[in-house]
Structure 1
Amino acid sequence: MLRSTLTPAGLVRRARIVALAAEGLANTRISKIVGTSVPTVLKWRSRYLRDGLDGLLDAERPGRPRHLDHAEVVSATLMPPPRKYGVTHWSSRLLAGHLGIGNATVARAWREYGVQPWRSGTFKFSTDPELVAKVTDVVGLYLEPPENAIVLCVDEKSQIQALDRTAPMLPMQPRQIERRTHDYKRHGTTTLFAALDIATGQVTAAVKPRHRHQEFLSFLKQIDRTYPGQELHLVMDNYATHKKAEVRDWLAAHPNMHVHFTPTSGSWLNLVEVWFGIIDRQAIRRGVFTSVKDLNAKIRAFINGWNDRKHPFVWTKTADEILKKAKP
């Protein structure tokens, strides 16, 4: 105990009292060396003689019984605030004043029950009548892709803004984060079309000024040139551009391309959305672009770098697990 660096200071002091007593030192001498009173020395010597090492440990201290049940605080939290307060949700201080208790007590109750009134999220249920079939189809492609075929997740990220700052960025320094002006200049927008090969992570992409069916059809032709003569399974959402007559006719004339639509309000099933999140965080959101041409060049540079360090995208949830959570 005396040599350990992890032993609490109080326990070290008690162990030292016992060790000095074992060396034959008088109680008054021990009290001076340890820096405590003689009655304290007598107390810990007697407890050691009676209970051994366990006698040096602190006895349990239950403290004053709790007079306010945390469940009552949480129950009040789950009720909407009275109209007289004019607020949408409780704060710890507002609820504490309403209940006549301390706001620290409210905070402890919230921590114990995992209640977070200051947070809010969104949700949306899919109303697609073919929800089960589409989820099963798309997830089946991810978990067991057809042999000798390539699964591509296809979509477009539209309205990417070429934003320029009104002053140069201040670079990151030790103990100082990167900083930029709060205001910016708009230089236009671009649209990124992308097809993600989930088995390898390879991305085929194109940047175009608009996202009409003409641009989408042009991108499909680019995919066809990238994977000549190969069987392709394309996962897409229900955007009207993807179902235009000209697009359907072209796909019908290319039987090597099989389209799999995600459910309505279920574009999160499309893995290319994950990749769009990556490029947004790593190249777009904090980027500075002096023109649309500059924006397009930096997007292409990111894609080239990504394809050099690409990795597969692995889906883990089964269709049954997804459908179980998707039901309202």
Structure 2
Amino acid sequence: MILLCAEGLQSKEVAERLGVHEHTVGKWRRRFVKDRIEGLTDEYRPGRPRTVMDAQVAEVIERTLNNTPKDATHWSIRGMAAETGLSHTTIRRIWNAFGLQPHRSETFKLSTDPLFVDKVQDIVGLYMAPPNRAIVLCVDEKSQIQALDREQPVLPMVPGVAEPRTHTYIRHGTTSLFAALDVATGAVIGKCYKRHRATEFLDFLKEIDRRVSAGLDVHIVMDNYATHKTPKIKAWLARRPHWHVHVTPTSASWINQIERWFAELTRKQLQRGVHRSTTELEADINRFIEAHNEKPKPYKWVKSADEILASVKRFCQRTQKTLCGEL
């Protein structure tokens, strides 16, 4: 506007050329004449005065991180609002701005295995670069699976209403599932037993031996549970030099891929299943395995051993800093 006016154009002509009102051009011309370049900047707009001061924000953060309420283990939004005299919406904004979530907690457990690094490198290397003419199997047992029936019949789901079921149940015994996941194909070998002793585990190893093609080396990934290392198990494995055992670190079940499949079994079949006997339960488990093996899909392991170890190192360093800060 000012540049066009400087060329000698009238306010009306400038307004028509720029598509603004003539009064707008006049306003900016007057401001430029009065204050020159400074007159073309926006004027200060104070807006509504602050009602929450920095000291109050700091107090909320300090209380959230270092104190707990008298009647609870963690702060709620309304509890903090009542304690500080601020509104619950203000507390919410402060917590969101600083990433505070007192209502949430996360669990962790670090392995204390002295060979943790070596075992992680061994097993992850097996996943990401399996040996030739070999099969890699993740083996474990899901013990004490309960056959649960509801005290009253489960009602059908209808539009707008979730499936109604009683929260109380009747136990009809337990079964234990031994399973082996083929890392390359995603197929599962599974067998249910009444108990989960070394005897049952040895029988399951023989079941695997019968199903694996001859001429292949067998690499099994399993934990160091007592039933996996009895003299009979060790003697049976020693007579089969083409079998190779890879033991997971203690407190590191996440590295065994069969645990991921067990989670699927629980979510899809067991969590909401209704079974009036262990026979029904085992039949449903076997059907689930058969359905899974019709179109098996392997889990894709994407983290290298170095990335996993680096992540564990960062967590340890972060935890150490936090503890040192508290001390």
Name the TM tier (shorter chain): 0.7 to 0.9
5+ residue gaps in structure 1? 1-21, 23-42, 52-59
How many angstroms apart in 2 are the aligned matches of 1:48 and 1:162? 82
Counterpart AA for 1:283: Q
2:113 to 125, 128, 131: 128
The residue correspondences of 1:206-285 to structure 2 (distance < 5 A) are 206-229=191-214, 230-285=216-271
1:173 match: secondary structure: coil
Counterpart AA for 1:100: G
How many angstroms apart in 2 are the aligned matches of 1:296 and 1:237? 24
* Preserved CA contact (<8 Å) 1:156 1:193: yes
How many angstroms apart in 2 are the aligned matches of 1:169 and 1:124? 38
State the Cα distance separating 1:125 from its structure 2 match: 1.1
How many angstroms apart in 1 are the aligned matches of 2:144 and 2:23? 79
1:28-65 CA deviation, whole Å, 9 max, x = no partner? xxxxxxxxxxxxxxx988559989xxxxxxxx996444
Counterpart AA for 1:309: K
State the Cα distance separating 1:67 from its structure 2 match: 3.1
How many angstroms apart in 2 are the aligned matches of 1:66 and 1:44? 38
The residue correspondences of 1:184-195 to structure 2 (distance < 5 A) are 184-195=169-180
1:81 to 44, 58, 68: 68
The residue correspondences of 1:1-328 to structure 2 (distance < 5 A) are 46=23, 63-65=48-50, 67-69=52-54, 70-81=57-68, 85-229=70-214, 230-327=216-313, 328=316
2:192 match: secondary structure: strand
2:122 match: secondary structure: helix
How many angstroms apart in 2 are the aligned matches of 1:49 and 1:152? 82
How many angstroms apart in 1 are the aligned matches of 2:297 and 2:109? 30
Counterpart AA for 1:145: P
State the Cα distance separating 1:325 from its structure 2 match: 2.5
Counterpart AA for 1:265: S
* Preserved CA contact (<8 Å) 1:204 1:223: yes
How many angstroms apart in 2 are the aligned matches of 1:96 and 1:263? 46
Counterpart AA for 1:109: I
Aligned residues, how many? Answer: 278
TM-score when normalising by structure 1 = 0.79
Cα 1:62/1:141, change in 2 over 3 Å: farther
How many angstroms apart in 1 are the aligned matches of 2:199 and 2:61? 56
Cα 1:258/1:66, change in 2 over 3 Å: farther
Greater shift in the superposed pair: 169-178 or 67-76:
67-76
State the Cα distance separating 1:75 from its structure 2 match: 2.4
State the Cα distance separating 1:167 from its structure 2 match: 1.6
Counterpart AA for 2:271: R
5+ residue gaps in structure 2? 1-15, 29-44, 317-327
State the Cα distance separating 1:326 from its structure 2 match: 2.4
Counterpart AA for 1:282: K
2:292 match: secondary structure: helix
* Preserved CA contact (<8 Å) 1:80 1:88: no
* Preserved CA contact (<8 Å) 1:164 1:288: yes
Q: Which residue of 2 aligns with 1:17?
A: none
Cα 1:258/1:99, change in 2 over 3 Å: same
Aligned Cα root-mean-square deviation (Å): 2.3
How many angstroms apart in 1 are the aligned matches of 2:119 and 2:203? 26
State the Cα distance separating 1:114 from its structure 2 match: 1.7
Counterpart AA for 1:236: M
How many angstroms apart in 2 are the aligned matches of 1:212 and 1:110? 51
State the Cα distance separating 1:152 from its structure 2 match: 0.5
Aligned identity (percent) is 51
How many angstroms apart in 2 are the aligned matches of 1:151 and 1:49? 82
How many angstroms apart in 1 are the aligned matches of 2:51 and 2:303? 44
